A and B are shown apart, each in its own frame.
Chain A
């Protein structure tokens, strides 16, 4: 149980284009989902917290107009990187919080974004 999927697993896009990443909780409902960014050999940095049906809460320093988050249902959240640039290249990981324990998070497999 508690499986989280992400799609795509990797994507290459050209500078200036937008990319959408999907995060789904497959066998449970997630009222809250989180988006993280991870650079090589570094830890996970929280970008934003997404609650179903409401606006996402972004961490300090994260541009909300660049990283658009939509949490349309209890099993799906999307992250759109708009006008991507090479410095946005990174490993993006989502997690979903189970309703049974409010702070227990399960992570997706991650999406490798490369902007050329």
Chain B
């Protein structure tokens, strides 16, 4: 099955700096890569996603890049703010043949702390 590795496990930055979180996946059939932000005691919130036919996607201060050859994708947050502090999870979807859904396999998570 799919295996997703996420690094680093913790990341501490100063407000205004950039933050980068990286993930690698094992199954070349995976074609959907979402990123989730989870605040303490809450469910994950989808913040950005990318599909395998695109190499980069940007939404304001957040961007995701995908390298299918190397099987890795990254989350980039620019001009970080204290409210960006949370746990971030990457995931990969490995759609089973013939089904109408894709199961997500999650990375281990990154605790991002943005210091004012």
Contact = CB atoms under 8 A, between A and B. Distances in A.
Contacts of B107: 43
A95 B45 CA distance: 10
Interface residues of B, number: 23
Interface string A28-58: 0001101000000011101001010000000
Interface string A1-42: 000101000000000000000000000000110100000001
Nearest to A103: B102
Interface in A85-116: 93, 95, 97, 102-110, 112
A93 B41 CA distance: 11
Given A43-B109, A44-B106, A102-B101, A109 B42 contact: yes
Given A44-B44, A108-B43, A103 B101 contact: yes
B103 interface: yes
Interface residues of A, number: 24
A46 B42 contact: no
B46 A104 contact: yes
B46 A49 contact: no
B18 interface: no
B100 interface: yes
Q: Determine which residue in A44, A51, A103, A110 has the highest number of CB atoms from chain B within 10 A of its CB, and name it.
A: A103
Contacts of B44: 44, 93, 107
